[in-house]
Amino acid sequence: MFKDVIGDWPTDRRFILTSCDDKYFDQYFPRFYKTYKEHWQLPIHVHIIDPSDITMERVDKLDVTYTHCTTDKSVLKWPYSYETYCQAQRFILLGYNLLENQSVIVADVDSYALRKPNETQTHMLESNMAFTEYNGRMMATFCNFHHSRKTQARQSAIRMQQLLEQTDTIGVDQLVIKETFKPLPYNKLKHEEWIRHFDNRTDIDAKKHKQCLIYHEKGTRGKLKTVETTWIDIE
């Protein structure tokens, strides 16, 4: 599916993991990097799919660890294959590399931090597997993977790889997360407190989004909005 991953997996006990292709790295990573560094003050690891030379130059100058890979174009036989593969890559990478002492936050690259969690919230996030839920789904947008479920994390990575070769369904990562972890104990993060899984349609929506720890907009409108943080702000 993907050629060999280049780069080293972090050894930090706690860090934030995200993944993206070259386009999303250019568009969203400056904001991701700036806000999570400012508010969460945790190491960041980014996995980049099909990075350009400019992207490699940029990421090498930042205070992050990173891995990267090249897409095997021969497997892109479904209409949404590339998007689906990019969504799942962070969980596949995590499933094969999670260490015995690690508790890893996974976040969409187009999300950004608004504030730092308090002590109780931090414990809720890092002490176990942790997910928000919305409309019966366990959301992959923002979650935590804990070393106590290392075996299941690997099983989920294998399952994602299998499904990616069989289906063009967007959201393979969420499907497998629910299939694997729903039967097991995990910490439920309140989406009104942590991250709202709604399209931002009204002023009321915008206000509620900004009361959360993490800001993220679902839907096309969110993707069309201008990202104010640019590379000039972090280089």
| Domain annotation covers residue 153 | yes
C-alpha dihedral, 194 to 145 to 154 to 71, nearest 10°: 60
Alpha helices (runs of H) in the chain, residue ranges in sequence order: 22-39, 53-60, 81-97, 119-126, 150-164, 172-181, 203-209, 220-224
| Domain annotation covers residue 44 | yes
CB 113 within 8 A of CB 93: no
Q: Say which residue the tokens 């790889």 belong to.
A: 161
Other Cβ atoms closer than 10 A to 59: 19
| Domain annotation covers residue 66 | yes
Kind of pairing between the strands at 214-215 and 137-146: unpaired
Residues, the chain, total? Answer: 235
Number of domains in the chain: 1
CB 43 within 8 A of CB 10: yes
pLDDT at site 80: 60
Domain that holds residue 42: 14-189
| Domain annotation covers residue 235 | no
In this prediction the pTM is 0.93
What's the CA angle centered on 220, arms 219 and 223, to 5 degrees? 100
| Domain annotation covers residue 195 | no
pLDDT at site 78: 61
User: What CATH number does the domain containing 32 carry?
Assistant: 3.90.550.10
- b/e 203-221 (16+ beta carbons within 10 angstroms → b): eeeeeebeebbbbbbbeee
| Domain annotation covers residue 212 | no
Kind of pairing between the strands at 137-146 and 103-107: antiparallel
pLDDT at site 95: 97
Please list, in sequence order, all residues whose beta carbon lies within 8 angstroms of the beta carbon of residue 50, skipping any fewer than 6 positions away.
21, 22, 69, 70, 71
Token pair belonging to 186 = 């995990």
Token pair belonging to 103 = 């508790």
The pLDDT profile of the chain, 235 residues, written as one tens digit per residue, is: 555 899 999 999 999 999 999 999 999 999 999 999 999 999 999 999 999 999 999 999 999 999 999 887 666 666 567 788 888 999 999 999 999 999 999 999 999 999 999 999 999 999 999 999 988 889 999 999 999 999 999 999 999 988 888 777 778 999 999 999 999 999 999 988 999 887 777 788 888 888 999 999 776 555 556 677 777 777 7
